[in-house]
Amino acid sequence: MAESFIFSIAESLIAKLASRTFQEASRLVGLYDDLQDLTNTLSLVKDVLLDAQQKQEHNHELRRWLSQLKTVFSDAEDVLDEFECQTLRKKVVKAHGSTKDKVSHFFSSSNPLVFRYKMAQQIKDINNRLDKVAANKHKFSLQTSDVDTRVVHRRDMTHSRVTDSDVIGRKHDKEKIIELLMQQNPDDDDDTSLSVIPIVGIGGLGKTTLAKFVFNDKKIQECFPLKMWVCVSDDFDIKQLIIKIINSVNDSESAHAPIHQMNLNMLDLEQLQNQLKNKLSGQKFLLVLDDVWNEDRVKWYELRNLIQVTAGSKILVTTRSHSIASMMGTIPSHILEGLSEEDSISVLVKWAFKEGEEQKYPHLVNIGREIVKKCGGVPLAVRTLGSLLFSKFEANEWEYVSQNEIWNLPQKKDDILPALKLSYDLMPSYLRQCFALFSLYPKDYEYTSYEIIWLWRALGLIALPKTDRTREDVANQYLHELLSRSFLQDFQNFGTVYRFRIHDLVHDLALFVAMDECLHINSNIQNIPDNIRHLSFAESGLFSNLVTKKSAAVRTVLFPNEVAAANGKAILKTCLEKFKCLRVLDLSGATFETLPRRIGKLKHLRYLDISKNPNIKRLPDSICKLQSLLVLSLEGCVELEALPKGLKKLISLYCFEFSTEQTVLPMNEIANLGSLEVLSIGSCHNVESIFGGMKFPTLKTLFVYDCQSLKSLLLEGKNFPQLKTLIIDGCSNLDLELWKGDHEEQSPKLKLKFVLFSTLSQLVTLPKWFQEAANSLQCLLVYDCHNFESFPDWLPVLTDLKTLEIRNCPKLVSLPDNIHLFSALESLRIEGCAADLCRKYESHVGEFWPKISHISNIFIDEAEDLDEE
């Protein structure tokens, strides 16, 4: 199925060859004609690829032809990458190299004459192979089409909370589950009794949505002081489940997910059990175990016995299996049925049309009735097809879905849902590869937009913007298109960063379409096929057992959930020896003490993550030879004595995250990173001041967190002209007023859009420089600032502000006096603040309610016990 990406691979190769950088560089080294030949052949082949992709499922020989093409394309990508690496190396030597560097450059294989000869041979070989494969295209009677006309119509963004209006046809189910949860256990006096209520139904019916619907209900919130949500999925690993439960308690206690969570993988099982016991002790709780697949009774009893129970505590389980429900449940299961035809058509209309729009198109609604009959009452299928048909008003487009041959294919128990496969088949080519990479992560993984966009970017999947848009804008567009297709769920929008998950069945689809390209390796995998390019591992021990031979194909090695800890050193050694063309290496959470100097040999590397390593003290300066590197993450490496010398040579770096013991940061070097857009400075406990007047002309996102000695942060508009996102968290000595900025009227102002201040004990009111961002700010969050008392009198009208959230600020006495003039404000959330503040703004009765009544989404919930603060 990976052949379905081939059109977008051809497009990206042609775009790269046509770029000004390539054109100029190829003329300089005398390879222009060779590369033009390659471009011409690629263009001829590309013209028939869309038709070939559509016909390949029914033609084995065509599929093999596409596979041969893909192999040549892959080798062409490596050759062009080699060319790019050389161009960047030359640039660095010219700008920053010493005489010694220039001499060694001349005598190395990078010498222009040697390089030109080697490249000419490689390009010639690619051209010959491509010509040979392309010559066979006439066998298949393929139609010419050089533009992918499939588009995604984007709908307005939605928030993640499940409301009554979001859930159609499940009111009775919700009431029944709440009734079961509120019932007293017959033996409630026995602290060891634990009531377990299973919800059972086939995939896509909405078991998780129903459980969330119940979980967020006000009656449940009042009944259970502690609520925890754990996605279990395929792997019922006791240690990992305890970690998930502890993290869920932490989330619940802090009222917002912590920005940087402790790596609990470092603790042994006994330490984790003690932590869990302390967290649950004396608390009546509701624990949701979502998507359970484990049929091993011994494992279930082991987990159940570890959970310290207070009378009245309940567990709600969702599963597809009746036998699992029977094994775990203490009462009969709640069986979830499919939606009725009328509820199904309501769901389709909700997703296919804007509100009320369906009344203009009764003929489309009639075709829709035929479509939903084929969905078998499965809400996920109906919603996906509704999203696919959004903003499509031609009857033939609806009939194509209704009459598609996919409905006639025999459907086995674990097959991909036809509705999802149909939506994928109609997905634009550029989006397919991006979607397939979700298969590298485990089921129920919580993605952040940053990590997935960094991965796409490192693998060259984001098209060159054609206007003044940035690659980040294009990547965000891709995410919004996937959301519009209902391929993403639980989507949370934090202004400039998003969090989301994907449904299990959507994950199954990603696994299916990526099976020849990507492999997430768990204990069931016996070997790694030769053509696999992207690898991820569920546990570190699997790496050494399965990676046994060299491979030029492997581009990605990931360890999601920071499981590289145990074998990090051996993994790193193997990667350096066997994967010379590696683009992405994520060893976050590993514990090796040194990074070998040979790391500088991985010249194709775009993404290197060795974050959260508690042992590493030094990095070799050779890391600065990685001129193609886009992302370097060293955050949480709290023992790191110093950053490497020569950082300015990382001329492609656009994201840099780090921690260090240094007292003075090498800001001069960091400011010289001409492509830097994201900078994260964390756990630098000896640093007292940052920036010191340095200019960061390209920086867009700045995180500063857990810098306990930090006293001042010098942010001036003239030095940060592009800064949009500012997050400052856990800097207890930071006084945001200690700012020696230039306050002249004419000086450039900060253009911040998103600001989060969290756990800043010195913050009493907003700093004066904040008024610079008054005309641009869209989202302001203030969390856990226990001395934050008021918004300043000088605060101007925040004309663009859409979101204002204040959480756990017990001393705050009022909201901005002019908040009634914040006309763009859509969402106001006050949580864990003083009762007096909450009463003032109480719905319809509070003294200042008229000032906020224009805001469409308001949530106000006072602190339970402020005496504990």
The arithmetic mean of pLDDT across residues 253-263, rounded, is 47
Residue 415 has pLDDT above 80, yes or no: no
- Cα–Cα distance for residue pair 487/433, rounded to 1 Å: 14
Rounded CA-CA distance 546/441 in Å is 18
- What's the distance, CA 640 to chain centroid? 27
Which amino acid is present at 289? L
Decide if pLDDT at 164 tops 80.
no
For the chain, the average pLDDT equals 87
Residue with tokens 């001393």: 811
CA 274 to chain centre: 32
Does residue 258 carry a pLDDT above 70? no
What pLDDT, in 10s, does the model give residues 569-599?
A: 888 888 999 999 999 999 998 889 899 999 9
What integer pLDDT is reported at residue 349 of this predicted model?
95
Distance of CA 337 to the CA centre of its chain: 32
Position 818 confidence tier, pLDDT thresholds 50, 70, 90: very high
String of DSSP letters for 581-633? T--EEE-TT---SB--GGGGG-TT--EEE--S-SS--B--GGGGG-TT--EEE
Nearest to 576 by CA among 585, 563, 588: 585
Please give the Cα distance from 595 to 752 (Å, whole number): 37
Tell which wins on pLDDT, 477 or 308.
477
**DSSP H or E stretch at residue 272:** helix 269-280
Q: Which of 693, 716, 839 is nearest to 773 (CA)?
A: 716
User: What distance in Å separates the CA atoms of residue 825 and residue 822, rounded to the nearest whole number?
Assistant: 6
Model confidence over 231-243: pLDDT tens digits? Answer: 887 778 888 899 8
What's the CA gap between 725 and 751, in Å, rounded? 9
Torsion of CA 9, 425, 478, 291, to 10 degrees: -120
CB atoms under 10 Å from CB of 282, counted, come to 9
- Alpha helices per DSSP H over 438-578: 449-458, 471-484, 504-513, 541-546, 568-578
- Crossing angle of helices 6-18 and 429-436, in 10° steps, is 110
Assess whether pLDDT exceeds 60 at residue 705. Answer: yes
The pTM of this model reads 0.83
Amino acid 623: pLDDT: 96
Close Cβ partners of 690 (under 8 Å, ≥ 6 residues apart):
665, 667, 681, 704, 707, 710, 712, 713, 714
Q: Which tokens hold the place of 674? A: 């001409």
pLDDT (mean) for 67-82: 91
Q: Which H or E run contains 492? A: strand 489-493
The distance between the two most distant Cα atoms of the chain, rounded to a whole number of Å, is: 86
Whether residue 579 contacts residue 603, with contact meaning beta carbons closer than 8 Å, is answered with no
pLDDT value of residue 153: 58
Residue 233 has what pLDDT? 78
Would you list the DSSP string of 146-177? -S-----PPPPP--S---GGG--S-HHHHHHH
pLDDT digits (tens, 9 = 90+) for 338-359: 999 999 999 999 999 998 999 9
Instruction: Give all strands (DSSP E) within 90-239, no chain letters.
Output: 195-200, 226-233
- Residues 98-116: b if buried by 16+ CB within 10 A, e if exposed: eeeeeeebeeeebeeeebb
Residue 214's Cβ-side half-sphere holds a number of Cα atoms within 13 Å equal to 32
Q: Residue-wise over 208-232: b if at least 16 C-beta within 10 A, else e? A: bbbbbbbbebeebeebbebbbbbbb
Mean pLDDT of 524-531: 84
pLDDT band, residue 254 (cuts 50/70/90): low
How sure is the predictor about 155, in pLDDT bands with cuts at 50, 70 and 90? low
Question: Phi and psi at residue 544, in whole multiples of 5°?
Answer: -65, -35
Cα distance from N-terminal residue to C-terminal residue, the chain? 56
Percent of the chain with pLDDT over 90: 52
